[in-house]
Structure 1
Amino acid sequence: MKPWHLGNTTVRSPFRLREGLVALSTSSLQGNLRGSAQDIAFRNLLGEHGIVALGSDNTNSVGRKWRSALTKLGFLFPQIPAASGIPQNDVGPVDTITPNGWRLIRAESVPAMQECFLRALAAHYLPSVLEDEFECTAFSPLRHVLSVMLELERKTGESRLNFIEMATVVQVTSPDDDLTVIAEKVLALRERRASSTLNKKKFDREELEATARSILKPDGEPYKVQTFNDYADANFRYLKATGLVQSKGRGLSLVPEKHLFIERLTAETGVPESDRAYFITLCNGAALPTDNQDSALAVLADLLQQLRRRGIPFDVGGKPTDTPADIEIIRHQIEALLAEANEEAYAAQQAAVWEEIAAYMELIITRRNRKTLSNGEEIEVPQAEAPAYFEWVLWRAFLAINSLANKPYEARRFKIDQDFLPVGTAPGNGPDLIFEFDDFVLVVEVTLTANSRQEAAEGEPVRRHVADLVAFYQEQSGKPVYGLFIANRIDSNTAETFRIGIWYTNTDEKMRLDIIPITLAQFKDVFEALFASGQVDVALIRELLEQCGSLRPTHEAPAWKREIADVVQRTVGQLLQ
């Protein structure tokens, strides 16, 4: 069977589709996305909103690919092939936002967004009117993968599915293949890989090459090896966007909290009764097990049991459970409690992986995408998501320092998924990160902007955010508030703005702000020195900030930046001596 994939191999990060939909929803382009001029206009719209980089695109493919991604998942009404005999009006106006698309736009939390992707992928079947080149019985790729993972769990005790196993086995099968046989193929591959004398990369390459030779295109030519990698990557990313699976090494495993839900979902093996029904379900989003009263109650009971096992108090009390909507409210409350507990456990692990955190900083500093760690694990900062990863790695750094008085989920303003990875950047009208310690508060702001636009984009917002928190903490606890501004390069105009450090309130009250600009490379040096020396103490960070701040009155911006660099160098030297 030819390889298949979920989602879109161009838009690798599913959550970016929501950003594209939001941009389109306010544009006159909605419903008018066909033709070369419209492709260009859509690409420019995405660029203006910072969703794609507006580099060279001679074929104007970006707009077409984004339109294709949004229609394939049912977030835009697709153009119905005339040969299907289905009137376009029976489905909806071409390239306008569907009910599930609007649901995604209105989704504010990560679980709400994940439910939209889940409904989209649960409605997606192959072959279909839009993708009819598959010679197999119609099937749901989402349910197929989850069924394989459940079968692996039954055989081995864990649901883990590795990347190479997806690439060379699962994504070239369907339910026409016996589920037990698929699982046995996965386990045989796993055993061969474990016993091979080849290094893992070479072994994987040979497996991919063998798979590519064994599956031919309709024209008799073999597929490129990279195709199987690209499809597996897209499959993993879009599967994780449903919230049902999470990373496990270079693979996936089922989210324990969603196990019963997954069992119920995979038990639904029916296919759409007609092409018309398929399109309508795709654009509205599939029904889920929790839309059914009995299944919703069963999932709720399972979640309550998980809370009890983990010792997390929760009182259902007199909360109504008369409808699936009532149950959904309680379910989301419980899932939020479990997520908070998981995040606190994640925060406690960060000190042990400080070298990995530093490696992520290195990727952001060097603008590289990937790095292989000493343990063989590969980490990645997707180019389009670098701003979000910048905030995320600083959050992890201060979790590792492990002195927070506030909770880890209170310290960040960006959203994270079930793998604790960032889902977009922090929203405006507030700082990126707020770290409260026993005797002070640190406001951290980051940017990848490195030229003279840096001051215009960051000078006023950063000062305003710090000033707001100074006022808040003066009233609440009297704790001093420091600002830490981090970029790969500090423009002297930005440094001068923070050196002066003045803010006037609405009542013309003058405030002096302590905001220190440093480069990410400088912060990385200090961070690594803290752990390498075994002197991990946030008081040393405060001392560094105060030393840098004390130099403001006697130096203009260029000299102040040099003095800050000297303070950082001395601090690192003292830690490592």
Structure 2
Amino acid sequence: MRIWEGLKLFAESPFNGNLRGDNEERFQTLLNHAGLVNSTGAAEDTSSYARKWRLMFGRFGFIYPQVKKKDGNQEDLGPLDLITPFGETFLKADTYPAQQECFLRSLSLEQTKVSGNLGFFSPLRWILAMMLELEKRTGTSEISRIEFSLWGHTTDPSYDIDDVVDHIIDLRERRKKATAKRRFDAEEIKKRGQDYSKKSDNFTDYSDMNMRYLRISGIVQRKGRGLIIVPAKHFLAEKLAKTTLSRRPVMDVYKELCHGASLPMDDLGTAKALLLDTEAQLKKNHVYYDLSDRPVSTVPEINAARLYLEELWQKTDETIYAAKQPEQWQEISDYMTLLIKGGGKKIDDSDEDKGIEVPKDETPAYLEWVLWRAALAFGNLVNHPSDMRGFRLDSDFLPVSAAGGGRGDLYCEYDKFTILTEVTMSRGSRQESMEGEPVRRHVSDAVLKYGKNNIPVYGLFIAIKIDTNTAETFRHGIWYAKDDVKQRLDILPLTLAQFQKCFIALFQSNETAKHEKIKELIETCEAQRDLMEAPAWKKYIEQAVGKTILK
């Protein structure tokens, strides 16, 4: 989710407080240029993304939503589409745990209507109650994708929680015995649809999106293609779980939403209990921490200490995650295949619950992420996994957004050299104009930085397709640094398919110094660049990929 980047863009734009009419199309243009959306350019798609983002901002309370006449006056809430006090708080949240807490405040409010005018509920609180009841009966809070689809996001507090959990457990037991899982799921969807008042397509069409929204709260995380309560947040989940409906006036809910809804940790006693629980979890997992120099007397101080520990835990888990990447090289390659296709899913033929996905509107972030995972799989790095990347991760180690400007995408530091990897989803002549200058500048900066310790720097530029003009720019590799110091930079342009070919070959050959082979490929191709024009150099690179890696 790139909501923070989108809201920051909106806050700094002239459309803050004026996102209607023609400004919808203008804001969508900004989103496009920032790489936050990839609209088709069709006539019917000139402002649809902008409206979706506006709706999302309002739903989280980051901008003042539109008040319906039956619910009150807009003036009593705040200027339509203007950044709210809570929106300002969210923009000041400079760590992912702090941003997750903002999402949690919004998602904990009862603002989803229950059919039949019974009131409102919070889907997050309802799902947590369901997962905790599942845990009580089965020993785990895990809920699979098909269980969530049929009995999670398509139920609400008008259902009896015990009855819902009965259905989930029954579904789970029968599915275990089924030999053809996909056929079983299709039949269950059809059967459940007979007792469901809305379209049966809702079961699966929106389940992935709704799970994604729940995950940004930080209180649940991915388990397979389903969900499980984050161990460190279990105590908080118990406090938040709720099966009852709310009948509060909509205006009261909006006012709380736009100023920041309260959470259990706003109470001193609960804040202390949550901090102690987080400390206990870190000790249990042998994560060292030191709070001796941090004040922990007030609620803000205690919560700040807890967020610090959560960030520390995430960084420790990232090291563990990095160590697992060599054994996951085939999955990494599968993600590359999906990116080459422009996104999509790869699902197990026998079981819908098993598979991987690259959301089509998040391909830039996933491209950086998969190249980061590939570098981790190669191993031999001397810098921490978190120091390599500029993009942010969620608690499942999936990308939240692409790296910001001002630095390269991936800095892979080895004992004797550094490889700076830059990636892009852009193609055609636009590719050179977008990437030619910043890529050379970033590599130049790295050459100056690492050159102080006599560490050579190699540039690796990876795109789905390499435009010949881009190849020509990097073939010359000329850059003038400060005081007109001329540099000849080594930047090798590769298609993602070419890199994937190298990646697979290196793992199938059991090569131990995989990073050295990539360096050798760069040097081999750079040695020939002055002997040919860009079209010929591109062909040479294609041939060198096979010869250098496979020899």
Q: Check whether TM > 0.5.
A: yes
Deviations, residues 115-160 of structure 1 (Å, cap 9, x unaligned): 2211111123332xxxx74543533221110111111112112111
What TM-score, normalized by structure 1, do the two folds share? 0.90
The equivalent position to 1:150 in structure 2, one of 123, 132, 137, is: 132
Cross-structure match for 2:190: 209
Structure 1 CA distance for aligned equivalents of residues 34 and 435 of structure 2:
17
Cross-structure match for 2:295: 320
The 1:374/1:343 distance shift into structure 2, 3 A limit, reads: farther
Report the AA paired with residue 210 of structure 1: K
Q: Cα distance, 1:572 vs. partner?
A: 4.1
Cross-structure match for 1:47: 32
3-state SS of 1:246 partner = strand
**More deviation in 446-455 or 348-357?**
446-455
Cross-structure match for 1:94: 80
CA contact (8 A) 2:142 2:229 kept: yes
Report the AA paired with residue 185 of structure 1: H
**More deviation in 57-66 or 243-252?**
57-66
Deviations, residues 326-352 of structure 1 (Å, cap 9, x unaligned): 112211221111101111111111111
Report the AA paired with residue 153 of structure 1: E
Matched, 1:519 2:495: yes
Structure 2 CA distance for aligned equivalents of residues 107 and 421 of structure 1:
20
Cross-structure match for 1:491: 467
3-state SS of 1:247 partner = strand
CA contact (8 A) 1:495 1:557 kept: yes
Q: What count of residue pairs does the alignment treat as equivalent?
A: 546
**Superposed counterparts of 1:124-139, under 5 Å:** 124-127=110-113, 133-139=115-121
The 1:523/1:64 distance shift into structure 2, 3 A limit, reads: closer
Matched, 1:30 2:27: no
Cross-structure match for 2:104: 118
The 1:40/1:455 distance shift into structure 2, 3 A limit, reads: closer
Structure 1 CA distance for aligned equivalents of residues 341 and 293 of structure 2:
55
Matched, 1:74 2:50: no
| CA RMSD in angstroms, aligned pairs only | 2.2
Matched, 1:227 2:202: yes
CA contact (8 A) 2:472 2:533 kept: yes
Deviations, residues 191-250 of structure 1 (Å, cap 9, x unaligned): 1111124x222221222222222122xxxxxx3332221332222010011111111111
The equivalent position to 2:504 in structure 1, one of 505, 513, 528, is: 528
**More deviation in 47-56 or 396-405?**
47-56
The equivalent position to 1:106 in structure 2, one of 86, 92, 102, is: 92
3-state SS of 2:492 partner = strand
**Superposed counterparts of 1:40-439, under 5 Å:** 40-52=25-37, 53-58=39-44, 61-84=48-71, 86-127=72-113, 133-197=115-179, 199-216=180-197, 223-266=198-241, 271=246, 273-372=248-347, 377-439=354-416
3-state SS of 1:144 partner = helix
Q: Cα distance, 1:285 vs. partner?
A: 2.4
Cross-structure match for 2:539: 562
**More deviation in 73-82 or 159-168?**
73-82
Structure 1 CA distance for aligned equivalents of residues 419 and 309 of structure 2:
31
Report the AA paired with residue 70 of structure 1: F
The 1:133/1:156 distance shift into structure 2, 3 A limit, reads: closer
CA contact (8 A) 1:391 1:446 kept: yes
3-state SS of 1:225 partner = coil
Structure 2 CA distance for aligned equivalents of residues 541 and 375 of structure 1:
37
Q: Cα distance, 1:38 vs. partner?
A: 4.5
Deviations, residues 457-498 of structure 1 (Å, cap 9, x unaligned): 1111111111111111122x3221111111122222222222
The 1:50/1:408 distance shift into structure 2, 3 A limit, reads: closer
The 1:81/1:186 distance shift into structure 2, 3 A limit, reads: same
Report the AA paired with residue 170 of structure 2: A
Q: Cα distance, 1:318 vs. partner?
A: 4.2
Deviations, residues 378-416 of structure 1 (Å, cap 9, x unaligned): 211111110111111000001111211111111111101
Q: Cα distance, 1:375 vs. partner?
A: 8.3
The 1:309/1:17 distance shift into structure 2, 3 A limit, reads: closer
3-state SS of 1:434 partner = strand
Structure 2 CA distance for aligned equivalents of residues 460 and 41 of structure 1:
26
3-state SS of 1:224 partner = coil
Structure 1 CA distance for aligned equivalents of residues 390 and 270 of structure 2:
34
Structure 2 CA distance for aligned equivalents of residues 61 and 472 of structure 1:
44
**More deviation in 21-30 or 419-428?**
21-30
Structure 1 CA distance for aligned equivalents of residues 423 and 49 of structure 2:
28
Report the AA paired with residue 32 of structure 2: G
Runs (4 or more) in structure 1 with deviation over 6 Å come to 267-270
3-state SS of 1:420 partner = coil
The 1:395/1:478 distance shift into structure 2, 3 A limit, reads: same
Structure 2 CA distance for aligned equivalents of residues 571 and 337 of structure 1:
41
3-state SS of 2:446 partner = helix
Q: Cα distance, 1:505 vs. partner?
A: 1.8
CA contact (8 A) 1:20 1:46 kept: yes
3-state SS of 1:149 partner = helix
Q: Cα distance, 1:44 vs. partner?
A: 3.8
Cross-structure match for 2:519: 542
Q: Cα distance, 1:182 vs. partner?
A: 2.0
CA contact (8 A) 2:458 2:491 kept: yes
Structure 2 CA distance for aligned equivalents of residues 439 and 48 of structure 1:
38
**More deviation in 183-192 or 282-291?**
282-291
Q: Give unpaired runs (5+ residues) of structure 1.
A: 1-14, 217-222
3-state SS of 2:390 partner = coil
The 1:32/1:511 distance shift into structure 2, 3 A limit, reads: closer
CA contact (8 A) 2:119 2:247 kept: no
Report the AA paired with residue 497 of structure 1: T
Report the AA paired with residue 124 of structure 2: L
Cross-structure match for 2:448: 471
3-state SS of 2:111 partner = coil
CA contact (8 A) 1:450 1:488 kept: yes
The 1:331/1:368 distance shift into structure 2, 3 A limit, reads: closer
